[in-house]
Chain A
């Protein structure tokens, strides 16, 4: 019995200028699990996430969150429904301190002490760099800040775009472990990730994108076990990567 879909895209088309990027995306993100969105560069993964967040408007189709139609909602309202977004560029504010970055993620300006400690448990570096300008952090620390910022208040859904891009293996391992712990709290996550080892380790469900459409959807275990399917969809096998 499939879990209830917390987030569902139906027939979503998005245009950027003259480019027709998303050509009818159908995607269901089950509640409580971590869904990985795979696909090569240019497939439309980032565009999908941005369309979900309302940063780009879908020209056609529906985006539903928890049963409600959020397709045409303005981005701030979408965020306030409990969706946190960690973009590919991380979106940390370089001129603001770590504290100020985190504070922006709270609704009231105050931190729930328990939540903050949990974030520090996942990413101890943030505690150390609390009053340092985010621009002075390393790439890995910025990514931790971006994700920590998404966690500092309870969220229904995390939408994360390629968190391990450009990071060192040690940092990637740390992030993977952090995500594993995150999964224990049954937060729903939609993760775009090119690192297949991490994807396989974390993903409950997987969707593969190509040319603006979802070309495969299902369980991660099934895909991981099928080398031929991997080669066909992704052009290489999960095993050979990392």
Chain B
């Protein structure tokens, strides 16, 4: 039954399976295990970003497309849910309409970007997505009327999700089941559903064609697959799911702004999550999301302590200052790209399959360049 739920995609290593189980249980039971708003926010963030990173993995890990515009869909989804709510139309209708609009808009944008790649080389494509993302961010800060500009949008969520709402008159196992907890559990459930959906997508025949395209586009074309159609469709699906993740973020924070959704920093976070977790494994994206969010939450106070302790020394305090945590994340990222390109899950899976990790990494992370377009040479 579990295998069917996971669409046949086994974690591949006992440690991975264990971590995933721990993660799901810890998240579902977070209101009881980790009391406090801060912990709940972090847990919700992990769910949302697990979905977002997973959707990015479909593009990056499974189809081999490097796009820097993925945050745009996240932002569209968030703003689409936020906008009707900010106009005062509270209620589930607003949420659903907003989510639907977000998905449609994201899908349309992804289709447009996908078709653009028809005209240009793959290398241009990555650079162009960077320009698109930058444009989107600027647009969000300028269209004050719709997006609230730099300040973003604050709004009320449906009554059931507000902190004031009580589901049960008395606390359940020590925790008051208020709107906040309900919002969180909603995010967990929807996040889980979306993640399982993604597993289904990548383990379907469609998903296998994507991987074939990633390995050797020329060959896939020769075999009769219209690669442009497949890649565009992958982009559209990824965008739609990212958009829904954005909607979840809006519900969680009750605030949407360009920094929380569209920033290059967020895009980097997603990239880090997928690469550190392991490209092309989907589970890696989830674990990567957990790693990054937990690091953001807990590492920074730790760094503050380090920085204070090193106060007298020349360069050290400034390097370990919590604001510089991205520096160390970048170092970690580079080290992983060099030495563990398969990420956590990929490396562990390779070990389980008793293949050298370098080969596994090569399968996932490196391009096939010796043959150019992949035609077997004379």
Interface residues of A, Cβ cutoff 8 Å to B: 16-17, 19, 21, 41-47, 56
Contacts and interface: CB of A to CB of B under 8 A. Distances in A.
A44 B370 contact: no
Contacts of A45: 378
23 contacts: A16-B370, A16-B371, A16-B376, A16-B377, A17-B368, A17-B370, A17-B371, A17-B374, A19-B371, A19-B376, A21-B376, A21-B377, A41-B378, A42-B376, A42-B378, A43-B378, A44-B378, A45-B378, A46-B377, A46-B378, A47-B377, A47-B378, A56-B370
Contacts of B376: 16, 19, 21, 42
In the complex, which of the residues B376, B377, B378 has the most CB atoms of chain A within 10 Å of its own CB atom?
B378
Interface string B334-378: 000000000000000000000000000000000010110010111
A56 B374 CA distance: 15
A7 B371 CA distance: 26
Given A42-B378, A43-B378, A47-B378, 13 more contacts: A16-B370, A16-B371, A17-B368, A17-B370, A17-B371, A17-B374, A42-B376, A44-B378, A45-B378, A46-B377, A46-B378, A47-B377, A56-B370
Nearest to A192: B378
Nearest to A57: B370
Interface of B: 368, 370-371, 374, 376-378
B281 to A, nearest CB: 21
A19 B377 CA distance: 9
A42 B377 CA distance: 7
B95 to A, nearest CB: 49
Contacts of B368: 17
Contacts of B377: 16, 21, 46-47
A35 to B, nearest CB: 18
Contacts of B370: 16-17, 56
A16 B374 CA distance: 9
A45 B378 CA distance: 6
A118 B181 CA distance: 88
A41 B370 CA distance: 19
Q: Which 9 A-B pairs have the closest CB atoms?
A: A46-B378, A19-B376, A16-B371, A17-B368, A16-B370, A17-B371, A42-B378, A45-B378, A41-B378
Contacts of B378: 41-47
Contacts of A43: 378
B377 to A, nearest CB: 6
A17 B368 CA distance: 7
A148 B325 CA distance: 59
B376 to A, nearest CB: 5
A41 B375 CA distance: 13
B24 to A, nearest CB: 37
A41 B378 CA distance: 6
A46 B370 CA distance: 14
B212 to A, nearest CB: 13
In the complex, which of the residues A17, A21, A45, A46 has the most CB atoms of chain B within 10 Å of its own CB atom?
A17
B255 to A, nearest CB: 49
A44 B377 CA distance: 7
Contacts of A42: 376, 378
A209 to B, nearest CB: 9
A193 to B, nearest CB: 13
A43 B376 CA distance: 11
A21 B368 CA distance: 16
A16 B377 CA distance: 8
A42 B370 CA distance: 16
Nearest to A45: B378
A119 to B, nearest CB: 29
In the complex, which of the residues B368, B370, B377 has the most CB atoms of chain A within 10 Å of its own CB atom?
B377
Nearest to A39: B378
A196 to B, nearest CB: 17
A20 to B, nearest CB: 10
B117 to A, nearest CB: 24
Nearest to A19: B376
A87 to B, nearest CB: 11
A174 to B, nearest CB: 25
A19 B372 CA distance: 13
B334 to A, nearest CB: 26
A57 to B, nearest CB: 9
B367 to A, nearest CB: 10
A129 B377 CA distance: 33
Nearest to B374: A17
A42 B376 CA distance: 8
Nearest to B368: A17
A56 B376 CA distance: 13
B315 to A, nearest CB: 40
Contacts of A47: 377-378
Nearest to A41: B378
B203 to A, nearest CB: 23
A144 to B, nearest CB: 23
Contacts of A21: 376-377
A21 B371 CA distance: 12
A154 to B, nearest CB: 30
Nearest to A43: B378
A131 to B, nearest CB: 32
A47 B376 CA distance: 10
A132 B351 CA distance: 58
Nearest to A46: B378
